[in-house]
Structure 1
């Protein structure tokens, strides 16, 4: 029986978290002497990069839209430069309408990924 405090799991979440933390540690270790300045950029990069199991970035699954990276604000790209407030609001509303579909696709992607992993280990 599982509880809210200690849900049953197959250990996959813990394993993925360890991998993510180890990857972040490796990137931080490369930035010796500038760790505190680089940490926000490393974490932002991790949150906005698509992951293999879901096929999407964690940021887009939570907020329903792609993130604008800080570089696009400093050096505007076409995607950033051509946006205006009205257009942006319309797109955000569309993204909110489709976030459920996006999350459902991620669940399907996760199930397929789990089947591939199971097949590889069995």
Structure 2
């Protein structure tokens, strides 16, 4: 599996982080049944893309497609959410959602620095500052 790219090296850590989450979820889902990894991968990927993230407060699916997720089970067995929808009004609602997509993405963009500061604060609280002077031996 290729986890880095020479074209966009700044994205390497993001890709590795995302891959780590997917692999950990696969391990939790499969347990001792490691031979079924390929069969369970679509479900784990679907769960990853439709779960809201703490950093943005949105699902990756909603940031890209500007729509709420309908899980495959709801298509086969209609629920109140899917059976009430009228195809004509659905198209109108999607058009309205396209108008607000930038606002949704801006909210996610503004939320990210706050999240990053919180994570940095949690990481840095255990760091001790050490001052070195000329002549100090440093390993």
Same fold (TM over 0.5): yes
| Deviation at residue 46 of structure 1 after TM alignment | 1.2
| Deviation at residue 5 of structure 1 after TM alignment | 2.0
- Tell me, yes or no, if structure 1 residue 23 matches structure 2 residue 30: no
1:28 and 1:39 in contact (8 A); partners too? no
CA deviations 1:42-99 (Å, max 9, x no partner) are: 2111111111111111111111111211011112111100011111101111111111
Q: Which residue of 1 aligns with 2:14?
A: 13
In structure 2, list runs of 5 or more residues that go unmatched. 1-5, 125-139
| Deviation at residue 101 of structure 1 after TM alignment | 0.6
Q: Which residue of 2 aligns with 1:98?
A: 100
Q: Which has the higher contact order (CA 8 A, sep 6+)?
A: 1
Question: Distance in 1 between the 2:10 and 2:39 partners?
Answer: 38
1:88 to 52, 66, 90: 90
TM-score computed with the length of structure 2 as normaliser: 0.72
Number of aligned residues: 118
